[in-house]
Structure 1
C-alpha cells in the first residue's frame, strides 16, 4: 500500500492553509516558509508543505541561500525531488530576470543593492570561479550581461581585450565586472586587484569606464570600488 504525500491543503486546518490566507489577505501576511509552501504545493511523507519550506530555509540559511542553490544541492534534500528542485530554480531565474529588467530601466549607480543582488543570483550558486561583465549605457542602464569565463575552483581566465571588444560591440559607456569566490571568502586577492586595474586601463583607452568589480562569495558581496581599487 502506498503512502500518500501530504498536500498543502489536507495537512493543515483551513484557517492555517497558506493558499487560503493568501487569497483572503494577500501575500504580505505569509511567512517565507508559507510562500514556499504555496509554490511547492505538497510536502513529503511526514512533512507538510509549510514544514518542508521551513526545513529548506534552515538547510540553506534563508531565502537567498535557497534561491542560489544549485540543482544538485536541491536534489540532495530528502524528498524534494526533481520537479520541486526545478520549481525553485524557476523562481531564481524569474528573480534574476526581474532584476535585469529593473537595471535596464534605471541608473545602476543609484541602485547598487540591485546590482549586487543581480550578480549574486547569477554567480553565487556556481561551484567553480566564473567572471561576468555588465555592460551599461551612458545613463548607467543595463544593456546586457555576459559570462566571460568559467574556470577551475581556484581561478578563471579573463582577457581584458575581450571585454573591450564586447563593450564596443554593445556600444557601452561603462562596465561592471563581477566574479565569484567558491571558497566563500569575500576578500579580494592580489590577482583580483591586478585584473581590476588592468581592465580599467584597457577600457579607458576606448573611453569606457569601469564602474566596479564585485566579488560574490556565497551570501556576501564585496565592492572593489568601495575599497578604492577601481
Structure 2
C-alpha cells in the first residue's frame, strides 16, 4: 500500500489495502495535521483522534506515549509496551529514559482496551499516578492518560490528574 499526495494536497491510497493500512494512513494524516498546526495539542480531543486511529483496532493491549515539547507540539508518538488481551506491563523507567532521550517536556500516555469498554480500571488509575509522580521528579508533565475503546476516556477531563 502507498499513500500518495497529489498537487492539491489530497491523499489517495494505491494498491491493495487492508483495514490496518487505512487506519495507519488515517493516523499519519492526523499526526501531520497536528504537526502543521504548530499550536501543539491543546485539548484531549486532539490526541484522542490520533490515538483512536492508532490503537482502536488492536486485538491486544498497547501502551502508547506521545512525547511533547514545551509548547505541547509532538516530538514523537511511540508504542512502548505490548501486552495481552487484558493487560500490558508498563515500566516508568522506560518512559522516563525515552522522555529524556527525546528531551520531552510533557507526555500524554494512552492504552487501548481491546474489549471496547473504555472505562479506566483501578489499576489504570494507580498506574497513572505512578507515571505522574515518576515524571514529576524529572520535571516532565503528564498531561493526560487516555483509554481507547469504543470511545476515548480522558483521565484529565475527569479530574484524575
> Which category describes the TM-score, using the shorter chain as reference length?
0.7 to 0.9
Q: Which has the higher strand share?
A: 2
Q: Which has the higher helix share?
A: 1
Give the corresponding residue for 2:24: 93
Give the corresponding residue for 1:182: 114
Q: Confirm whether residue 166 of structure 1 aligns to residue 109 of structure 2.
A: no
Could you tell me the TM-score, scaled by structure 1's length? 0.60
> Which is bigger in relative contact order (C-alpha 8 A, separation at least 6)?
2
Give the corresponding residue for 2:143: 211
Contiguous gaps of at least 5 residues in structure 1: 1-37, 41-81
- The residue matched to 1:102 in structure 2 has which SS? helix
Q: How does 1:146-165 map to 2 (within 5 A)?
A: 146-165=78-97
Give the corresponding residue for 1:223: 154
Between the aligned partners of 1:87 and 1:154, the Cα distance in structure 2 is: 25
Between the aligned partners of 1:117 and 1:213, the Cα distance in structure 2 is: 14
Q: Is the 8 A contact 1:129 1:182 kept in 2?
A: yes
Number of aligned pairs?
A: 149
* Alpha-carbon shift at residue 108 of structure 1 (Å): 3.7
Could you tell me the TM-score, scaled by structure 2's length? 0.85
When Rg is computed on C-alpha atoms for both structures, the one with the higher figure is 1
* Alpha-carbon shift at residue 107 of structure 1 (Å): 3.2
Between the aligned partners of 1:171 and 1:180, the Cα distance in structure 2 is: 26
The CA RMSD measured in Å over matched residues stands at: 2.0
Contiguous gaps of at least 5 residues in structure 2: 1-11
